[in-house]
Amino acid sequence: MDLNTYRSSLSFFGNELSGVRPLYFGNKSFKWSYGTYFNTSTIGVELYLFNYLKIKDFFASLYLRYGFPFKNNGFGFCIPKIFVYRNFSLGFSTDLWTQYYYRKGFSVNSNIV
């Protein structure tokens, strides 16, 4: 059961800008949450399991992907703010996957805000 899916669905029928935050488990210094995502693509159906982790001001996300019928599986993680200085921040994300037709692959992304 994905509690955040139900919570975000409720915000669709109300005022989504009223300060409703995602549901996290933990306390002020350590929080964890999860979410699911279902996607159809050209090589089949994909099911994602997202994990969100927040330790004080550090936030990271990790996902696992299972796809069928062509075995398109993978995982990735994202740290949106590795380095912060005044109004400048640097983030990082990477994805690794394996697929029946396209074999193995990876991507690396960085953001500067």
Q: According to the model, what pLDDT value does residue 19 have?
A: 61
Residues 61/78, Cβ–Cβ less than 8 Å: yes
Residue 23, pLDDT above cutoff 80: no
Q: According to the model, what pLDDT value does residue 5 have?
A: 60
Q: Which pTM value belongs to this model?
A: 0.71
Residue 85, pLDDT above cutoff 60: yes
Give per-residue pLDDT as tens, 59-70: 899 999 999 888
Q: According to the model, what pLDDT value does residue 77 have?
A: 94
Average pLDDT for the chain: 82
Percentage with pLDDT > 90 across the chain: 28
How many CB atoms lie under 10 A from the CB of residue 67? 22
21-38 burial string, b = 16+ CB within 10 Å, else e? eeeeeeeeeebebbbeee
